[in-house]
Structure 1
């Protein structure tokens, strides 16, 4: 499953970043704060036997348009909802150590022979999909088949890793899957952290079956769908009578479809057990509420400016360069997170975080805030200043659209700031209002010039997603930038078995990709939440996703 899932900024947890200079290399960028982002966790971790039986856990959330997290059109919401009624077979500790769930994988063996890796997954004898189909090697095969890229009709989010598998075969019994790789893939757990029902692995079902629809019969786990109101978008998960493992501690897990402002009010009124603090104002509103607490820690989120290279005016690399040179990242951070007491370095990579081994600040090495240089870049490209200050070339004004989703005040302020930053260079930013509900469509059909979006890493193997961000032939590359030659260099990094050496190569290639001037990481920050006291295994977890059966109310 793809590590980073696109989502609108207005829908995510509160983040903050240091207001520091970005004209210089990383060491000076971080003068006002720590050199690495926070890797702290805060989620009240409790063992299973310390959690009460019963109770309800209610948050804001809903089904997404595309509910299949393997699909390129899926967002973070899809992955979160999926995990409540489908297999959570592999999870990670907050720091990224792999954890196999014995309720699905009773044994895992990894060997390398002749330079090629083999993974043997033995599936739990009791494991079964809700429709009675055994969970066996065919589920692993189906997941590989849908995601390996051999059939382009599957709208897969990422084929990386799956395309390195030469075969998925039946082992000694049907309950054993033998996965054969070309070369060595140290990030293989990310490929089979969950899996598809074989019936979901047809093109039609993979692309369309989960659109505005759940398929609990194809799911498995301690919970299943109890009700889904297609009108309101509300969802309730209940204990699954067909589950073979430890029963879920909660009676019900409820998602209520609310916008961020309404969610904060609902939390204040006691209707929600948990909410994201999206800005200083909402944090102030929920701070100190009786029976609640603030949980805040590091975050594998990142928010970036995407520049559509397929847009006629932005096909001109000089224009893209001038845009990037004009953007003052620390100023955007100041706007987004004023009033929050948090500092961190500016993000320097799309795929690795500063708290991870192998990280380098590739952005600072390539992209500089150089407002004095931006006019010169446009002069050299033939864009002449017009009488109204807006540049002109071949009779066409240098007007660029910025798609703003929702009515979040911080989003509006950021859009205004970007317009002010681009104006001195002679670029007129036209702010275009978009509907949150159309977010996936706007991105997938590239109906934007500039747009801000966020991604969350779902596993610690960030280097394997380099192609998703930068390969020119990937739908997940929102900017459309890149070249076949660069694609070849990017894909070559997947052949490196040693994670340290792979990270070194990835950093080198990412710097070339950033020089396309189409993708600019802006800010990251902590995850901050208001939580009712006593709620266990919920909050800021970095790479960790607590198993659904362990979420509940502390004894």
Structure 2
């Protein structure tokens, strides 16, 4: 799983944990009756078209990160591709609308409602009478019951990753006829609409063997608009074809091929006519935009674009000069550049067949603060970090260059437009440097305190923050953001080929705060004031408001936090955000030690195991936060073996009050009360300052210009049967882009 995904569900190793402690939360009053959810910050961008405007037939080649290890979404190694396949070939009782709210799926349900609350909650499902499995059998109570038994958690022979909600079911029965299913709960369950989506046939759920192994590689029986043809792991492809027994609107496409293509290879695959649809990173989005916009000047944008006439003349002179060695070397370089330029021009020509569709994902990026040990175990320090952040500025770093709304996320549990959303950030407070500094002082971190010499192994960059090697990092990818980070002239000339700001044609600018020499008195080294940290500011960025604060120290140790980041393709925007955060923290006297690690080890070896102080990663926003978000924010508890069970709470910060609010929310059948309790829980999470939501993730999709009803879906569940290619005379409906 990448650094932007949900992460691992495994039991974590033992770590020390200190509770967040008491905190007055002014925003915990009951929510008003007025709906605070608002509208999504950005609409979907799918080139909508009426079905009669879409041609029948055709194959959609859709990029995925990898061929899924399992086709069973309820297993631990299921991924986004697993969910995409399930959405096309299996029933879902509910699907999400544009606001991220669950709606009945009429292809499977005529109705579903609570028919009894006393003595127990009973939900009655009335199924679409045409709904059948691909083997001709009716979808019915036997399928519901088999899925409940498999996911209830009572039979440990089933290797399930989750059973939330299913563990509250007491029994499932046939209703008055085969089209009715009665589900009786042993305990009230507010998020009952989350269940049975997707629904697997009893052939899969009926026994541990079929659940554990049978559905990993194939699905013999399906009931969606598409059916699974085969999974070709050698070729890295999954083939979906029309389901001949589908009773809903016929699929416009005859086939969907899911093709495994790495993120950094997708632009080339699109240009080479190997893909029709692919989620892409900002750099590839810019490349496609330039290809469409600058058709007559492609060569001016690619390799060699920085070569001036003077440089070109000098190169020609050297290549044709009397120095044979220099001429041979220069001629080789010129030949290589010509090949590179020709390849770039060809690629840009191929990319003109595509357009970038953009929205915001139903997921947000957060700054995680590990509260298990070190300075961040103190709630006051965590709150100081949070109060130092200008979240609006951080959102702009990522979203403004893409033309997307730069709106900070105000909730851990929902996004704007979803029913549970409300901006509860006031429970912690906004950016305030003086308040942040006061919190640090109260926690005992003071400027100018004596600092003990650090061992060389503790700081590969040196005790004064000097760079260990030419790229600003030590052998492990670590560098200190702080005192001596003013770059040399040579450093200023270096360019990182993955630098996101470079790909937007920005040049380094901005100022670095003046260094102040450290003073040595009585043989002691005292913490000294440092320069503004991190990378160069993009052109047009205002200089930092004020010089960096003096380094803070306590008990002979400087206040330095280890900031862990992934280093793989697509991580440039996280690096830019981390650099800006480091600058903000430097202003209140907190230094950051940035460690770049491989994507493969980021979650497993650092986030999940607690080997970090600060980190950036994303969580998806669920339509059912009382169920899905509880493991993320639950208070860690000691396990039977003496370790600490953190579930998915990788910050190790939680409180009893938060757990109680989740428990109350999941048990009420009053939707308004559930929403109010979820919002109260969110305010408590803000107050504990273990996780600071920053911005909603951008969603960028490259699509063929004639593809309709697909692209950047935002919150909405894709409607697979409506996807297809426009007829030659057709055009997308008005409002194709709703950003």
User: Residue 307 and residue 76 in structure 1: after superposition, are their counterparts in 2 closer, same or farther (change >3 A)?
Assistant: farther
Answering whether residue 488 of structure 2 is matched by residue 326 of structure 1, we say no
**Could you give the per-residue CA deviations for residues 20-52 of structure 1, whole angstroms, max 9, x where no partner exists?**
xxxxx9xxxxxxxxx965352332334545432
Superposed displacement of residue 193, structure 1? 2.5
For residues 207 and 647 of structure 2, what CA distance do their matches in structure 1 show? 17
TM-score by length of 1: 0.80
**What is the CA–CA distance in structure 1 between the aligned matches of 2:192 and 2:205, rounded to whole Å?**
20
From 682, 689, 699, the counterpart of 1:510: 682
Instruction: Spell out the pairing of 1:474-493 with structure 2 (5 A cutoff).
Output: 475-493=647-665
Q: 1:145 to 1:204 in 2, by over 3 A?
A: closer
Q: Which residue, out of 179, 183, 204, partners 2:183?
A: 179
Instruction: Write the deviation string for residues 468-512 of structure 1: whole angstroms up to 9, x where unpaired.
Output: 432225623332321344312221122333323322222222211
**Structure 1 position 519, deviation (Å):** 1.0
Whether the 8 Å contact between 1:43 and 1:539 is mirrored in structure 2 is yes
1:402 paired residue number = 564
Match for residue 541 of structure 1 among 701, 713, 737: 713
- Counterpart mapping for 1:459-474 below 5 A: 459=623, 461-462=624-625, 464-472=627-635
Structure 2 CA distance for aligned equivalents of residues 467 and 417 of structure 1: 30
Query: Conserved in 2, the CA contact under 8 Å of 1:8 and 1:405?
Result: no
Asked whether 1:92 is paired with 2:264, we answer: no
Matched, 1:279 2:442: no
Structure 1 residues not aligned, in runs of 5+: 1-5, 12-24, 26-34
Q: Whose RCO is larger (CA < 8 A, sep 6+)?
A: 1
Deviations 1:188-228 (A, max 9, x none): 322222123446548966996499x4332254423233343
Structure 1 partner of 2:370? 308
CA distance in 1, matches of 2:93, 2:719: 9
In the alignment, which of 395, 403, 418 is matched to residue 341 of structure 1? 403
One of 431, 438, 449 as aligned partner of 1:369 = 431
Could you tell me which residue of structure 1 aligns to residue 143 of structure 2?
139
Q: Which whole-Å CA distance do the structure 2 matches of 1:330 and 1:138 have between them?
A: 51
- Equivalent residue for 2:242? 239
Q: 5+ unaligned residues in a row in structure 2: which ranges? A: 7-26, 28-37, 293-350, 452-525, 529-550, 637-645, 728-739
Q: CA deviation at 1:523?
A: 0.1
d(CA) in 2 for partners of 1:416, 1:542: 28
**In the superposition, relative to structure 1, how do residues 396 and 139 fare at CA in structure 2: closer, same or farther (>3 Å)?**
farther
Whole-angstrom CA distance in 2 between matches of 1:95 and 1:333: 21
Structure 1 327/197 Cα, relative in aligned 2: closer, same or farther at 3 Å?
Answer: farther
Q: Counterparts in 2 of 1:56-455, with a 5 A limit?
A: 56-61=59-64, 62-65=66-69, 67-71=71-75, 74-96=78-100, 98-105=102-109, 108-114=112-118, 116-123=120-127, 127=131, 129=133, 135-148=139-152, 159-172=163-176, 176-181=180-185, 187-198=191-202, 200-201=204-205, 209=213, 213-217=216-220, 219-231=222-234, 233-240=236-243, 243=246, 247-279=250-282, 282-283=285-286, 285-286=288-289, 288=292, 290-297=352-359, 299-310=361-372, 314-357=376-419, 359-383=421-445, 385=449, 386=451, 387=526, 398-408=560-570, 409-424=572-587, 425-436=589-600, 439=603, 444-446=608-610, 448-455=612-619
Question: 1:10 offset after TM fit, Å?
Answer: 9.4
Deviation at 1:327, TM superposition (A): 3.3
Q: Distance in 1 between matches of 2:212 and 2:374?
A: 32
Give 1:523's aligned residue. Answer: 695
Using the TM superposition, name which of 364-373 and 498-507 deviates more.
364-373
Structure 1 residues 438 and 376, CA gap change in structure 2 (3 angstroms): closer
Distance between the aligned counterparts of 2:4 and 2:82, measured in 1? 16
Quickly say closer, same or farther: Cα 1:440–1:205, change in 2 above 3 A.
farther
The count of corresponding residues between Structure 1 and Structure 2 is: 526
How far apart, in 2, do the equivalents of 1:547 and 1:338 lie?
A: 30
Deviates more, 1:127-136 or 1:359-368: 127-136
Asked if the contact 1:117–1:183 (Cα under 8 Å) also holds between the matched residues in 2, the reply is yes
Larger Rg, first or second structure (1 or 2) = 2
* Distance across 2 between alignment mates of 1:440 and 1:77: 20
Q: Relative to 1, partners in 2 of residues 1:403 and 1:141: Cα closer, same or farther, differing over 3 Å?
A: farther
Q: Indicate conservation of the 8 Å contact 2:383/2:428, yes or no.
A: no
Instruction: Give me the TM-score of the superposition, normalised by structure 2.
Output: 0.62
Aligned CA distance change for structure 1 residues 70 and 323 (closer, same or farther; 3 Å)? farther
Supply the distance in 1 between the matched residues of 2:213 and 2:656 (Cα, whole angstroms). 33
State how far apart, in whole Å, the 2-side matches of 1:9 and 1:308 are: 18
Which of 476-485 and 382-391 deviates more?
382-391
When residues 90 and 358 of structure 1 are mapped into structure 2, their CA distance, relative to the original with a 3 A threshold, is closer
Is this contact kept in 1: 2:387–2:435, CA < 8 A? yes
Residues in 1 aligned to 2:5 and 2:359: alpha-carbon distance in whole angstroms? 19
* Contact preservation (8 Å) 1:277, 1:283: no
Q: Name the CA distance, whole Å, in 1 between partners of 2:156 and 2:649.
A: 16
Q: Are the counterparts in 2 of residues 317 and 516 from structure 1 also a CA contact under 8 Å?
A: yes
Q: Deviations over 1:382-417 (max 9, x none)?
A: 456534566665666644241325233223223333
Q: Structure 2 CA distance, aligned partners of 1:277 and 1:477?
A: 29
Distance verdict in 2 for CA 1:506–1:233, change over 3 Å: same
CA–CA distance in structure 2, aligned partners of residues 356 and 436 of structure 1: 32
CA distance in 1, matches of 2:556, 2:207: 47
Q: CA deviation at 1:362?
A: 0.8
- Superposed displacement of residue 421, structure 1: 3.3
**2:42, 2:200 → 1: CA distance?**
32
After TM superposition, the structure 1 stretch with the greater mean CA deviation from structure 2, 507-516 or 43-52, is 43-52
Give the stretch that moved more between structures: 126-135 or 259-268.
Answer: 126-135
For the residue of structure 1 that corresponds to 2:415, the secondary structure is: coil
**Matching of residue 494 in structure 1 with residue 666 in structure 2:** yes
Q: Which residue of 1 is the match for residue 3 of structure 2?
A: 8
Equivalents in 1 of 2:183, 2:175: separation in Å? 9
CA–CA distance in structure 1, aligned partners of residues 275 and 399 of structure 2: 24
Contact 2:564–2:594 (8 Å) recurs in 1: yes
Query: Any conservation in 2 of the 1:67–1:74 contact (CA below 8 Å)?
Result: yes
Q: Distance in 2 between matches of 1:210 and 1:65?
A: 12
CA–CA separation in structure 1 for the residues paired with 2:100 and 2:284? 32
